[in-house]
Amino acid sequence: MRKIFRKIIDTLWMLRSAFAALAIPLGSIKVNKWLKANKKNQDPYLHSYKKRHEKLIKIAKKVTKGLNIRIKVIGKDNLLKGPMWIVANHSAQYDGMYIAAAIGDKTEMSIIVKNELKNNRYIKGILASVDAFFIDRANLRDGINVLNRAANYAKQNNRSIVIFPEGTRSEDTIMKQFKGASFAFPQKYALPILPISIAGTLEARRWWIPARKTLFVTIHKPIKAIEHIKIPRDILARRAQKEIQKGLDLYIKNLTPEQKKFHDKLMALGLIVENKKRLNKKE
């Protein structure tokens, strides 16, 4: 009887979580229609950036709450006023959403994402709501232009830019080498660089498990423009990556033996996915 009851509870939780995850595509479609109405009325001030940004934060918090993910933010005092070049590790599809839910109330931001997401109807509205920049990873010249425009946008509009310098997602959470080119632009526009660690994404991905998942977003000390403007960008990239790694290492260190065992199991599963990706690229 107990096993049957447990199965019923688990099934109900999975259905609840599935509906919570739908808040992203449904919210995106709703925002997209809202933005189109703005264009139809020919009034550029009908939906200000502030209003659009607030909608994004609302959706982000709704999703994390619905999936029973608690976001614990460490180092809030390290947030600066004004524009920042926010660099973070990337191991989950919703990393941008997690950052928005964690610090979106404190700083307005935009994000740099891969070009393939430009016409994705399920997140198109969300990306449009924050003036997202789309980068073609196969086109070096285009990438430089996009990064240049993003840094200039941050400076001109007093907003932060979120970028994942690995260039792609790490399925096993082991960070890939940061691309130094993305650090040339905060140097050019004298923007402080803010490293952020996102830990606990492996566990958070398992949305069908009823237990509460805790995601740790660690905000490290910013690297101010005066400190980095003359540093070679590859050295600067390594410095930022080293800071982010500290946050990930601390997360592992604080896991209980049982949690560590589960985490290692999830990492092994992620490594299988990573290897499949490498094989597909070779083919």
- Between strands 109-114 and 133-135, the pairing is parallel
What length does the chain have?
A: 283
- Which residues partner with 39 through β-bridges? none
- Which residues partner with 195 through β-bridges? 87
Task: Give the whole-angstrom CA distance, residue 43 versus residue 77.
Answer: 38
Residue 148 confidence (pLDDT): 95
Q: How far is CA 228 from CA 158, 176, 225, 232, in A?
A: 20, 22, 5, 8
Task: List the pLDDT tens digit at each of the 283 positions of the chain.
Answer: 555 555 555 555 555 565 566 666 766 777 777 776 655 444 555 678 888 888 889 888 888 888 889 999 999 999 998 999 999 999 988 899 999 999 999 999 999 999 988 888 788 888 888 889 999 988 888 889 999 999 999 999 999 999 999 988 898 899 999 999 999 999 999 999 999 999 999 988 887 777 788 999 999 999 999 999 989 999 999 999 999 999 999 999 999 999 999 999 999 988 888 887 777 766 5
List, in order of start, the domains of the chain with CATH numbers: 2-282 (3.40.1130)
Predicted TM-score (pTM) of this structure: 0.86
Q: Are 176 and 165 spatial neighbours (Cβ–Cβ below 8 Å)?
A: no
Residue 21 confidence (pLDDT): 61
Three-state DSSP string of 32-43: HHHHHHHHHCCC
Residue 197 confidence (pLDDT): 97
Residue 139 confidence (pLDDT): 86
What is the maximum span of the chain, computed from C-alpha positions, in angstroms? 68
* Sheet with 85-88: strands ordered across: 69-74, 213-219, 193-199, 85-88, 160-163, 109-114, 133-135
